[in-house]
Amino acid sequence: MLPNQNRLTQRSDFALIYKNGSYAACDGIAIKFLKTVNPFIRAGFPIGKSYSKKATDRNRMRRFLREATRMHLYSLKPGYDFVLMVNSGKNTLQFSETVIILRRLFIKANLFIKSDIQTKK
């Protein structure tokens, strides 16, 4: 489970990231991220009805993203807030695929600590 200190919860935080954040995308998952003064990473996972009409599908994808983010949490640079968004056509993603895609996405967004990229290839 992703610790509470690493979760975005305020609507204003999401709005700030959407307005001022940088963007990267990879295989149907996109990230908006913003450098902050916080000493830790915070993540948000907005999965709306455009992804799926069924709440169970949306909750499943949210759980996948949260757990995959938790797995990479200590390999990411501190001091960033980010929002992970999923395209509506990606309803069939499995957890293992999600972990791989997020790793590629974090590398593309330059959020990985340099030493972790080299040792985990």
What does pLDDT average to in each consecutive run of 10 residues of the chain (121 residues)? 90 95 93 93 92 91 94 92 87 88 93 67 48
Q: What is the pLDDT of residue 95?
A: 92
Domains assigned to the chain: 4-114 (3.30.230.10)
| Terminal Cα-to-Cα distance of the chain (whole angstroms) | 25
Q: What is the pLDDT of residue 36?
A: 94
Q: Look at the alpha carbons of 66, 99, 53, 42 in this order and tell me if their dihedral is positive or negative.
A: positive
Give yes or no for a contact between 65 and 57, defined as CB atoms under 8 angstroms apart: no
Q: Which residues contact 93 (CB under 8 A, 6 or more apart)?
A: 28, 61, 64, 86, 101
Q: What is the pLDDT of residue 117?
A: 58
